[in-house]
Structure 1
Amino acid sequence: MKKLLFFCLFLATGIAQAQVNAYTFTQTSGTYTPITGGTVLATASTANDFDSQNWTLPTGTIPFYFNFNGVFYSGLTINSNGFITFGSNLPQTFNTVPLSSTNQFAGAVSAFGGDLNASFVSGAIGSELRYETVGSAPNRVFVIQFKEWRPFYNLSTTNIAKISFQIRLEETTNKITTVYNDCGIALGTLTNTGSRQIGLRGSTNTDFNNRLNSNTVSFGSSTAGTSNSSSQAFSFASATPGLPANGLTYTWTPPTCLAPSSVAQTGATSSSADIQITAPAPVPANGYEYYYSTSNTPPTSTTVPSNSTTALNVSIGGLTAGTTYYIWVRSLCTTSDKSGWSPMGTFTTLCNTVDTIMENFDSYSTGSIVPTCWDKILIGANVTQSISSSTPASGTRNISQYNNTAGQVNIVTLPPLNTVNAGYQLSLKVRATQPSVLDIGYLTNPFDASSFVVVQTLNITNTSYGNASTIPFPTSVPASARVAVRMPPQATAGTIYWDDVRWAPSPSCLFPYSLVASNVTQTSATVSWTAPIVAPAGGYEYYYADNSTAPTATTVPSGITTSTSVSLTLSSATTYNVWVRSVCSSTDKSEWSPAVTLTTLCNAVATMTEGFESYSIAAIVPSCWNRLVAGSAATQAINSTTPASGSRNLYQSNSIPGQTNIVILPPFSTINSGYQLRFKVRASLAAVLEIGYMTNPADESTFTLVNTLNITNTSYGPDTIVPFPTSVPANARVAVRMPAQTTSPNIYWDDVNWEPASLSTSDISGHKNGISLYPNPFTDVLNISGTAEAKNVLVVDASGRIIKKIARPGSVLQLRDLNAGFYTIIIEMNDGTTKSIKTIKK
């Protein structure tokens, strides 16, 4: 009874400790010894028998316990397609790919896995399946024999191929052998080719040990398979790849020394890590060797190990703080018998401790990460944590957490702190998409979620950021604890976001918050803020700079005020950062607040020339310009696609109605002084571009049209000129709008000039060589004199396009249908000469 109990325990501990990919393969040329006794399972009686069939041999059929892949068996299942399987889950009867199959059997041995069938044709083939145990204990062999099986599915009775093979399972050594014989044409002629899966598979198809040869390599020259679907090609038509030779023998020998199944981290400091090894069965007599590195390149059999141990729990010292290491372990069964290396494990040392923290996450990319030296514990399928760009409190990033399922864990752990029990406080800004709770506390073990201790629970009802939440930490916190933020499971909770995290001494003087910039002009701006709960007796100091370098405690402030706002005198077209701190007394001042950023407006200019050459290729506009681009189909950029001059031009595209694409030029002091916009323009297809002005460059509804350009040229030509009327409001900005066009044209423009209108005195008066036009500018009617010899009158718009032709003109030209703008009137005379006069329609 004791022996039986020991054996059952041995069986249990042996489960899943080995992998078939660790078996050793050998190939020999031996002798095929047919079995004639034992038990016959199937005898063919027709030309097509036993196509896709299983035969299950119950436990006890094998008269000894055969260990396959670390598990003992005395029964198995035979499939008619040339393979056997182990375990209670049976293969599908029609399975023709036993090694790559996802069927959940415990393991497989495939001698010639493919679409086979049995057959009986008198005088040619007589298929039979039998098994028999040969030899004497403890060296018995259980043999499964496929005799004269068709090597590929075939119903012919005149052209017949056949193959015989055995699967042999050895007692004691647990070796597996496949032996082949009598493979060839039994009747007629055949030229069939194909491939078969041959080898071993473990409990999943990721654990395999199989053979491979292509149709250009001899069947007897196979190599190790490279994937679970690798197979051996065969041919009845050519010597290469040919067929298995009589007596060809494949043997797979299980390892005698098994590797540990895993290695995991159980603890760490900044210079050491605690590692736990999962032992194989049987446990190696001489312990283990381990190898670790900051590289994930696996060691080889000749790699010098880092150290050895006889214990399953190992402490590794002399490590670098805040570093991830990779580790592998192998068993030492004897001095000469070592296992392969275990699957790779990882461990990470803790970061060096710090006194304070100020983190707004802006230096990190978005994704399921935490900052350097922070940690997280996420357990469960419905738990998420990331650094997100979704509406942060400041800058461009914040942290998000989500957990809606009981029993799941979502904890973010701050870096190690020297001051965790020094009376410091944690402050952070928090919001949630739905009412939620957030636990603030600490972990006594940063790897164990159950060691979390709550200091304060925040009830979050605000969906946008407001004032910071401040949580003082008691001095009773263990010195080795880590401050942590936990989102407990909440079925109705939304996503929680938090930002602007500070760990600092609990101050006696609190800094102001919610800085806001307003009334920004070219040379000034107002910055206001909210006073802390206890207003400082000495008012506030402020500091501003045209860079992002934050002031320190010793920085000389730019000024002081007793108000909660200040007006600053600044330079135009400059970005500033402004910080404020409270002055509670001459010796007690708060930390500087988070900065507010503002950019002053540009000074208005009288004229402008812009070719975009000094700008990079990007979705930008030049300095002091603005852009109003909204919608997935609206794009604008400075690019290098065939400019009119130099290497850059400006590009616009807009193909969906309701979307916005407007480029706004810098402020002009001459916006209503009779100036004109002159530039070159082209389009990839016929397109429309609107020239106008905006009284509010942030509001498309303030756009007023001056002229519509119908662009048909695909390459740059003469300048396009758009005069601006003197009625434009003085605070307006010139704007170029591309309305939505479903034909999806691309519009390019370059060499932009804002300049005085180019009409001369004689042009405006409308007289040329006896021809007179009046009034000029005109409203609807243009009078013309001296037309007795005129043949035609052509009206040409600012882009050079003829928009109206009047044959045999009279003395009055009706031009009511023209848009306001600049036009050239060309008079073609009967003698072939032409005269042109520039004019303006109001």
Structure 2
Amino acid sequence: MKKLLLYFLSVLASCMASAQVASYAFAQSSGTYVPITGGTVLATATNVSDFDSQNWTLPTGTIPFGFNFNGAFYTGLNINSNGYITFGSTIPPTYITTPINSATNYSGAISAFGGDLNASYVAGVIGSELRYETLGTAPNRTFVVQFKEWRPFSNASITAVAKISFQIRLEETTNKITMVYNDCSIAAGSLTNSASRQIGLRGANANDFNNRMNATTVSFNSSTAGTTNGAAQSFSFNTATATPGLPANGLTYTWTPPSCFAPSDISQTAASTSTASVNWRVPVPTPGNGYEYYYSIAATPPTSATAPMGASTASNASFSGLATGTTYNVWVRSLCDATNTSAWSAAGTFTTLCNSVATLTENFDTYTTGNIVPPCWSKIVTGNNAVQAIALVSGTNKNITQYNNIAGEVNIVLLPPLNTVNAGYQLKFKVRANYATVLDVGYLTNAFDAGSFVTVQSLNVTNTAYGNNTNVPFPTTVPADARVAVRMPAQATAATVYWDDVSWEQAAVCIEPNSLTVSNITQTAATVSWNAPVTVPANGYEYYYSTSNTTPASTTAPLGTSTGTSVTLGLSSSTTYYVWVRSACSGSVKSDWSPAATFTTLCDAVATLYENFDSYAIAAIVPSCWDRLVLGNAANQAINSLTPASGTRNLYQVNSVSGQTSIVILPPLSTINSGYRLRFKVRASLPAILNVGYMTNPADESTFVNVQTLNISNTTYGSESLVPFPASVPANARVAVRMPVQTNSPSVYWDDVYWESAPSLGTSETEGHKNTIASYPNPFSDVLYISDVKNVRSMAVTDITGKMVKTFDTPSTALHLDELPSGMYLVVLYMNDGTKQTIKAIKK
């Protein structure tokens, strides 16, 4: 176990969204369900099972009045087929069946029968429909969303059919929410099903809820207030039992908003060791007399009788006289007028800074795993996709992880306050990634504002295992109160970066270069480049490379020197190398060796090849001298053993998400523009397409040029696919097979790959075979005649790509080809002596 040298208290600032729907008043009544028949029909079922997990977005302006939900006005909403609506620009995933306790960051939800539902049409039994309509006149209009004859649980039976109808009604001016139920019954057959459904309101997060529940031993119509965000109402179709039963026709639930809303979204904006500032979201309508606040180290919320600790006329407040490195809870309430005060808001938090330190070391081993940082560190992580965590490596060893693949989202980890940030110190740590990625090391001038990040150095992280330390010296121009920070910028490769063994220490006198990259890789050479340290070494750089991944010692003699930040090495083909670089600050003063960069030189080009993949392990790899370009979590390529065409292995590709990549690249070929072809067998789990072409840069997907698209419908291996390559292909290009994105998620398998000379058209394919057989007429209409078949064993017709279109086991002088479309064809004659002859024919 590594030792933690310095321990700090937390400086992490967090916020919680509003908890206002909890203050809505609930009432239950028995009324009359009045179906709507006008307005707009969004969906009408035509199948036994329809609209299973689907969203409909009603854009802004659809509701003809501003509906105030949870302190914000909306004129648009999202409808989910699983029995609920949501507000805001974040649309729930279609499959969400628990809208009240879902972690999805929509702005709010109203769930009338939230669960796994679907629509259905069975003639004379059930006919599902989704419709909305506005009733009444301003200022007393009602916007109604109606689920008519929906299945209360998802199934496709036509003999046992249940149905339910319900409405969600939004009232103008009063902003009341009403749910009305009707016709929950068995439409055909008999059922004994039971289940539960989420019914109620949710605010901007799952901690803000106002829902209903009843146990299986309690009638559905006798619900009580939910005590957790996952509470639900039980129902059953078992007519042998009275409970929990079904919602009565006309059962009406009404939620009435408070007349004075509390503020929400409390967030910290500033801090020192004894002061802090927060702001909050102003509710609608804005309170006329401002706000009152209360804060405490304890998490116990204040009551209506609790005396406030201060007041503010603006949507912010500052606090002083606070304890160092301490997290406080804070609540705010609105003063709408002299007699109308809101409930206290949901708790927000603010944290004072720890005292600054000169040095630190941290290995994260003493902390639990989860989305946290150590005490006195902090983070800024925004959006649904950016993730930061302390994660287990092995045993008790832990490290920091960061992930961010969506532009505009933020993932920054801040070190504790340091009083040597501009005193010639450096950040030293180990870093790796599961895919090649970039990591920014720098500082924030405002620890609560991601926009204040300043990059000191961007690291190109290509290693997948931890290696040498990475050192990032900080210039003396950094502001004294800045916070050292590590930022994961958004990257489409969906890489996860890991870092560990962090030290803030005096920078070395002679600093090693960093961010080694390798380019221009050929069979016999490669160019290695690096970033110069902040202080450029007077005597340039020294480098060392080896086929062994053993870091050279300080006494190891370098293999070369460079006065610039790159060098081209002379190498052997098809060999993996490791290279290190160090700074030479003087004749005797040298830096540590940099972290290694690794690369493999290209194989020597071959004229032909055959590969059946049988000699390789089952893994996400390609054979020796092949390459692959696989980017993203939904794209993949591997060698596997699932029903190969021959032997024990074949190659597999998949790609189901737009923007991701799965390309397999064949070895260098000296005959790529010499009239050769690719011949292989291919199949797919579902109808699929595969692009066969070439790349001028195997590391750059944009250089892929398609030669032929294969439409694959066969699920088992059959005839071979033949792709001739034109003579116009650049001599340095690489043959490549690309799996383009396909939303039906097929898996494509291929095997028995040949690169070979393509046969010439219109001549015998066997040397020395005399071409004495002719065809006529040529071009032909429906029948092609062969002049002599006495020495022919069998016959076949292929299209120009080599795809078999017709075979003749018994030779005939009259080939009836009326079913073939117009075009050029090859008639292959298999002779009795084992040779074959090919005749080119054109159908009109």
Band the TM-score falls in, shorter-chain normalisation = 0.3 to 0.5
Higher Rg of the two aligned structures: 1
